[in-house]
Amino acid sequence: MKVSLGALLVVAACGGGKNYQLASPEPARSTSAIAGGSYSGGGSYGGGSYEPAPPAHATMQSTPDRVAEPEPDRPGLGTTFGESVYAPISYAPFERSSPSPWAEVLLHYNDEQGVAAHAEYLNARPAPLEVYAGDGSLSVALVDDAGRTLPGLSAGGRTLIVGADGERYRILVRNATTARFEVVASVDGLDVIDGNPADPNRRGYIVDPHDSLVIDGFRTSDANVAAFRFGRVADSYAAQTSGDRNVGVVGLAIFSERGAVWTRAELGRRDSADPFPARGYAVPPH
């Protein structure tokens, strides 16, 4: 998968022998991409440091001042800093067509009990869920270790995904167009590349035409990521670094590339083009 300079969408990069592609950094217009994993596709992202800070429990002895006082346990799930997964990256150029995202996707997740309570509140029922971005040209889903789409529901302006404690998950983005897109992804309010508070203006992954982007975890080096695993809020990467305020949400900001983009909407306009738009009869003079 490829990483570029900005986009807010939920996606997962999976490990494996495939090489991820990164964009070579250029001021204000290039992105770098990280690619790799068992899913087809690659990714790229812009240059700079991308190694996230380790969870607080990993640095307690050397930097005890970083560890905040423990807060009361919150119910539900967060995303932990999981095991190392091989996901090498390379770089590729990408220039955004606009500073504003082409589309944004938000996926809220929780355990079965939490989603059931939320579903009852919204009067809806969970089922395997894939969310379509923009005009439907791209889709986003959370998938398990076997690639199965996790169940969820969309109601009341919210998309809710059901996870299970200890379960590994990935963010999957499918591109049904002939154009490239840049995807800036966040988990629990943290950028998936460097682990800092997320901003859509940061670099992101590039998803190629008619390809898929899989994001596996928080990037720790050019070659590896820390797998996304559901866990207790107190054990989440966010809770042990910047705080748990934004635990339970995956965000994707998706940017189109400068130049013509063959989206479903544009193809629909082409398909329905009328060669004689002014059909009718002559009108008598006044």
Average pLDDT of the chain? 77
* Per-residue confidence (pLDDT) for residue 51, from 0 to 100: 53
- Does residue 2 surpass a pLDDT of 60? no
Mark 176-200 as b/e (b = at least 16 C-beta within 10 Å): ebebbbbbbbbbbbbbbbbbbebeb
Longest CA–CA span in the chain (Å) reads 92
Distance from C-alpha of 88 to C-alpha of 1, rounded to nearest angstrom: 10
Cα–Cα distance list, 194 to 51, 53, 137, 161, 218 (Å):
5, 8, 28, 24, 7
Residue 269 vs residue 9, higher pLDDT: 269
Tokens of 236: 């989440």
Tokens of 54: 């380790």
> What are 44-62's pLDDT values in tens digits?
444 444 456 566 544 433 3
Distance CA 10, CA 207 (A): 12
Coil/strand/helix, residue 164: coil
Q: What is the mean pLDDT of residues 205-224?
A: 94
Which residues are CB-contacts of 220 (< 8 A; sequence separation ≥ 6)? 51, 52, 84, 226
Tens of pLDDT, residues 147-174: 999 998 887 778 889 999 999 999 999 9
- pLDDT tier at 18, thresholds 50, 70, 90: very low
The pLDDT score that the predictor gives to residue 55 is: 62
Q: Which residue has the higher pLDDT, 190 or 116?
A: 190
